[in-house]
Amino acid sequence: MNRFKLSLLALIASLSVSTMGASIDHIQNYSAEYGANPAQQGAINVGSTVYFNPAGLMRLENGTYFVGGVQYAFGDQNMQQDGRDFSTNLSSPIPNFALYKKTDDGAYFWTVGGVGGGATLEYKDSIPLSVAGIDFNQFLSNTNIEGSNMYAQTTLGKAYNLTDKWSASVALRGVYGKRTLKAKSNVDTNINAGDLIGKPGLKLPLIKAGEASIDSERTAVGIGAQFGLNYAPNDRLNIGFRYDSKVKMKFKTKSDVNDNTYGNAISIPDIIEIPSIGLSDALLGLYPVYKDGQKIRRDLPALAALGVSYKVTDQWTTFIGGNYYFNESATMDRIGKTSTDYDNGWEISVGSEYWFTNQFAWLVGFNYADTGAPDKSFAATEYALDSTMVGTGVKYRPNETMEWTVAFNHYFYDTRTVENIKYEKEISSIGINFVKKF
């Protein structure tokens, strides 16, 4: 294959990966309390146990509980290539709600909130398009690329006692996923084949001057199961386990494309064989999950969570927990034999909660996450970097039936360079949670 065709295919692949991405989707920000102490897998409390350790609801007092809150994530994502920065700001609210009723016979619970994805990312000044030594941004202007990725969940289940020390939970979970791509760019002058192979006199218009835009949306629904166990051997030690099954998600794409940049088919035997293409073909790329009418699986992987909480004193509780993500067994945007092979991911957390008085407590926590994302998955609109998170917050109980939590955390992301592109992130979040017992 000649150098020109290699460069063109590389450009198309770069655009497609950079605009839609294939990073790992799970999040664990189910409640604001997680932001202050992410080791919630074995916790027994009124604000987060319903999300992270539902079998542990049987250790709470009888009553009906309402939980509501919101977290606000903010920061920036930055890529660097050949001395040029490509940046975007991140801004996203993450709401959460839960309702549960605990009796001697069992606990019924219902939760609503985010389970995957994140904020919309908009690159107003293009993305890295330097391929095979050629900067394709020199041919484009007013390039704006926006991508989003959001999964919402609702879980309905029941917890019940097995013995005086063991309890269990079962639940069904419904998930709605939505992934979008919007891209718009102008070609200021004809992109000729000769411009790319170093022969300016070869005036073969591969892509004509003009404008192309794409507005594409992928949506899917899926159902999964959740199972939990809790073991409380005494009043101080508690061990919680939760398994969320894989959720099969078959995304269907609806896409509107407007493009007046289509050039002429080029055929010079043994030199160039290129069909008629437009800029939108390059934007959609060789990995066409955003082409209209596509029906492609992108599952939400299964996860297993295990945690322990221990009351050192009546005022001080310590926590440790971990999550394991079964990414390898999930189907992720496979087209024919082409897919991204993910490694399984994992994370570990530690935390502490200390009550200074009956009304005020201080929370602090730490988390390290290894995403399992390979180089092939890195893209402009989403890339999963390994991270270290530190958080802190306070709890306030004005009376026996009400509790407030305010939290802040910051993520320190590893820097990673893939194919001469340096990927960086910096994200923080603040959150508030409210619990009312009836």
Percentage of residues in the chain with pLDDT exceeding 90?
A: 54
For residue 82, what is the DSSP state?
A: T
Q: Could you report the per-residue pLDDT of 333-347, keeping only the tens digit for each?
A: 655 444 567 889 999
pLDDT of amino acid 193: 66
pTM, full prediction: 0.86
Q: Could you report the per-residue pLDDT of 11-52, keeping only the tens digit for each?
A: 333 333 333 222 367 788 889 999 999 999 999 999 999 999
Q: What is the mean pLDDT of the chain?
A: 85
Most confident of 65-79, 202-216, 348-362, 421-435: 348-362
Give the pLDDT mean for 64-73: 95
Question: What residues does 81 pair with on adjacent strands?
Answer: 84
User: What confidence category does residue 126 fall into, taking pLDDT thresholds of 50, 70 and 90?
Assistant: confident
Domain 18-203+223-248+294-437, what fold? Porin (2.40.160)
- Kindly report the length of the chain: 438
Q: Is the pLDDT of residue 285 over 80?
A: no
Q: Could you report the per-residue pLDDT of 229-248, keeping only the tens digit for each?
A: 999 999 999 999 999 999 99
> Residue 281: what are its φ and ψ, rounded to 5°?
-65, -40
- For the chain, give every domain's residue range: 18-203+223-248+294-437
CA atoms within 13 A of residue 253's CA, in its CB half-sphere: 23
Q: Is the pLDDT of residue 278 over 90?
A: no
Give the 3-state secondary structure of residue 189. Answer: coil
